[in-house]
């Protein structure tokens, strides 16, 4: 029977001569072997790892996944083959993957139903691909018919759509077929048995693998053809194929109500094309208990008339010579009796049991089960993204937004790991605003402008400006805080402090300005001092810095307290006056460089602005004018 002609079936038996796959393609019998390799389309870590774990317990020498196809991506994916970590190539196109792995003849398609047909057709057109398994359900029927027709005319095999795949015990499996390794071991799928199994349902396949393993020596090959209305291959396709495999001594079939695929098997049995015992059951006999038509789980599991009922199919299979039990509950006994009869007749020599190798347990699962301890590689105390939403220092993101927190509050959580009073976070925000930019001529902005005009990207331009921050540009805040704190805490007078620095050959950080003078103070410094005097509980360090300024102004009119000195001294007052930091914490904050971090954060705003400004103005490459250079020997 041609799957695409199902609507035209009007009578049995004239329509069940052959299945969707051509006889030539199926006559070879075996689809897979211990050397079969596949290309996996649309990367999914778990099913690929399950395939590799199956390879390992089967004793394969090479992984069954030769390559991965992820449209638009290339490189490698790291996975495990037993205890060894391997890198599987990733290709961006089907054509590239087939060219790179010419011996991989199985295409496992994990694309969604929207793109499964197109990618499957592309794979079928590759000369190296022999079998295509389509996992997605809901593939449009018209697309499926085209795939079937192409496969039939080119001697290729389609498994699915809506399939979990298939497995040859001890050799090869598709994706998630047979589930976990524990289930595979329990079902004895790590070595070949004597039973060929085919069904429509992937879930019931797992159940039947277990059932068959309990009462026989296990399966040799199992296929789930898929539950869509038009499967790429049918029950009879695989039964006829199993009949040509010498290692398979009996077949088990699990059908379901709806459609007429089972009748092609009935016809094959009647015509003597199957000479091995077939134990069959068609599920869905309960449908008659319902007054209206019943749609079961699969798209094809819907009875369209008496002939498509489970009862009619079971009766037809029984009359054709299959072993059909009276119920699903009796299915296991029927399989057992058939197997034991074949053993008694000497047609089956039960396979000797072997012990499969142990799959090394993944570290994550071993840790979760308490079997091992493993050290962490990174420590983080400021944020946590493991819950439903990220947290900053234990404060959920939603709370930050709902409580109207500002940038200063976020900095207090991420930098200081605590929620500082509002006057502290407001001071932080003022510092950011005042230090965001200082014109295009300072070294950081100049470097950023030159880099942006060289055609570099935003990050490169920003970094080139940030790299100039140091002792001579923007990096004096930490030093100012460090020296002011040391001098004040030791009780040095401004005179003693300044003169001791002079003897050491060190300029006083935070003192001195190229433009500002004693009679022309920096407005930024005045704003910071006004805010602190109005809001801070104590400004002892700032007042000490002002006293130092008074002394330095007596020496030169440009030795004023600059913005670095103001921020440095006031941050000391913030830390000490808030009562939220110990002396040890304050010393550590100054030593680590928190205050320079404030300048880096603020100035990044301006440097980004300069980058955008140059890009917007489409400025050409900058070249420094030669007349501005002193050339000398």
The catalytic residue positions are 298
- Chain position carrying tokens 């790991």: 417
Alpha carbon distance 8, 608 (integer Å): 69
Q: Give how far Cα 134 sits from Cα of 30, 47, 96, 187, 382, Å.
A: 19, 14, 20, 24, 46
Rounded to the nearest 5°, which phi and psi values hold at 254? -120, 105
Four-CA torsion 385, 391, 393, 398, nearest 10 degrees: 170
- Backbone torsions φ then ψ of 165, nearest 5 degrees: 120, -135
CA distance 205 to 196: 12
| Polymer length in residues for the chain | 633
Q: Render 320-381 in DSSP notation, one character per residue.
A: HT-B--SSGGGHHHHHHHHHHHHHHTTS--PPPP-PPPPPPPPHHHHHHTTS-----S---S
Q: What distance lies between CA 111 and its chain's CA centroid?
A: 15
Q: What are phi and psi of 279, to 5 degrees?
A: -105, 120
CB contact at 8 A, 197 and 208: yes
Angle among Cα 519, 522, 524 to the nearest 5 degrees reads 150
CA dist 498 and 435 (Å) reads 26
**CA angle (9 as vertex; 4, 15 as ends), nearest 5:** 85
Q: Identify whether the C-beta of residue 492 lies closer than 8 Å to the C-beta of residue 483.
A: no
Q: Of 83, 76, 32, 79, give the one whose Cα is nearest residue 57.
A: 83
Distance from C-alpha of 253 to C-alpha of 238, rounded to nearest angstrom: 10
Choose among 493, 584, 590, 572: nearest CA to 536.
572
Number of helices (H), then strands (E), belonging to the chain: the values are 24, 16
Contact 519, 512 (CB under 8 A): no
Please state the φ and ψ torsions of residue 81, each to the nearest 5 degrees. -120, 95
For residue 513, the number of C-alpha atoms closer than 13 Å in the C-beta half-sphere is: 22
8 A C-beta contact, residue 263 and residue 16 = yes
Say what the alpha-carbon torsion angle 144, 145, 147, 149 is, to the nearest 10 degrees: 170
């Amino acid at each position: 029977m041609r799957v695409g002609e199902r609507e035209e079936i009007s009578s049995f038996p004239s329509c069940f001569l052959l299945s969707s796959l051509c006889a030539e393609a199926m006559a070879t019998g075996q689809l897979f072997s211990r050397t079969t390799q596949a290309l996996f389309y649309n990367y999914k870590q778990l099913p690929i790892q399950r395939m590799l774990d199956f390879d390992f317990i089967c004793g394969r020498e090479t992984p069954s996944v030769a390559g991965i196809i992820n449209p638009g991506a290339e490189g490698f994916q790291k996975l495990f083959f037993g205890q060894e970590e391997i890198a599987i190539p990733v290709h961006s196109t089907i054509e590239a993957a087939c060219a790179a792995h010419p011996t991989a003849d199985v295409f496992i398609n994990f694309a969604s139903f929207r793109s499964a047909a197109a990618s499957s057709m592309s794979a079928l057109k590759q000369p190296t691909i022999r079998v295509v398994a389509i996992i997605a359900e809901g593939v449009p029927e018209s697309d499926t018919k085209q795939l079937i027709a192409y496969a039939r005319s080119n001697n290729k095999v389609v498994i699915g759509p809506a399939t979990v795949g298939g497995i040859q015990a001890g050799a090869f499996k598709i994706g998630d077929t047979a589930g976990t390794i524990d289930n595979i071991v329990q079902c004895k799928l790590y070595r070949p048995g004597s039973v060929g199994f085919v069904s429509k349902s992937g879930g019931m396949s797992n159940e039947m693998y277990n059932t068959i393993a309990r009462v026989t020596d296990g399966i040799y090959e199992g296929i789930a053809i898929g539950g869509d209305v038009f499967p790429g291959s049918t029950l009879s396709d695989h039964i006829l194929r199993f009949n040509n495999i010498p290692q398979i001594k009996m077949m088990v079939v699990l059908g379901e109500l709806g459609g007429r695929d089972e009748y092609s098997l009935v016809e094959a049995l009647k015509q003597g094309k199957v000479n091995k015992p077939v134990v069959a059951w068609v599920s869905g006999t309960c449908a008659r208990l319902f007054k209206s038509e019943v749609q079961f789980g699969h798209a094809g599991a819907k009875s369209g008339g008496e002939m498509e009922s489970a009862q009619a199919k079971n009766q037809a299979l029984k009359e054709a010579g299959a072993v059909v039990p009276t119920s699903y509950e009796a299915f296991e006994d029927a399989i057992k009796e058939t197997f034991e009869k074949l053993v008694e007749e000497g047609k089956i020599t039960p396979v000797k049991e072997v012990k499969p190798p142990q799959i090394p347990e993944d570290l994550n699962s071993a840790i979760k089960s308490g079997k091992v301890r493993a050290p962490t590689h990174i420590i983080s105390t400021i944020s946590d993204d493991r819950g439903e939403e990220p947290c900053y220092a234990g404060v959920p993101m939603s709370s930050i937004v709902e409580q109207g927190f500002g940038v200063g509050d976020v900095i207090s959580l991420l930098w200081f790991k605590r929620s500082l009073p509002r006057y502290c976070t407001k001071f932080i925000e003022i510092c950011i605003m005042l230090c965001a930019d200082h014109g295009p001529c300072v070294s950081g902005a100049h470097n950023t402008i030159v880099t942006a005009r060289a055609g570099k990207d935003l990050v490169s331009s920003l970094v080139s400006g940030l790299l100039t921050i140091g002792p001579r540009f923007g990096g004096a805040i930490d030093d100012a805080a460090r020296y002011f704190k040391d001098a004040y805490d030791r009780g040095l007078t401004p005179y003693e402090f300044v003169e001791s620095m002079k003897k050491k050959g060190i300029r006083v950080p935070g003192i001195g300005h190229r433009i500002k003078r004693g009679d022309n103070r920096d407005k930024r410094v005045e704003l910071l001092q006004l805010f602190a005097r109005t809001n801070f509980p104590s400004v002892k360090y700032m007042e000490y810095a002002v006293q130092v300024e008074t002394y330095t102004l007596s020496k030169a009119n440009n030795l004023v307290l600059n913005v670095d000195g103001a921020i440095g001294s006031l941050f000391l007052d913030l830390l000490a006056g808030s009562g939220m930091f110990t002396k040890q914490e304050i010393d550590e904050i100054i030593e680590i460089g928190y205050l320079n971090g404030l300048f880096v954060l603020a100035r990044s705003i301006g440097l980004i602005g300069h980058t955008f400004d140059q890009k917007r103005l489409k400025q050409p490459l900058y070249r420094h004018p030669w007349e501005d250079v002193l050339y000398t020997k």
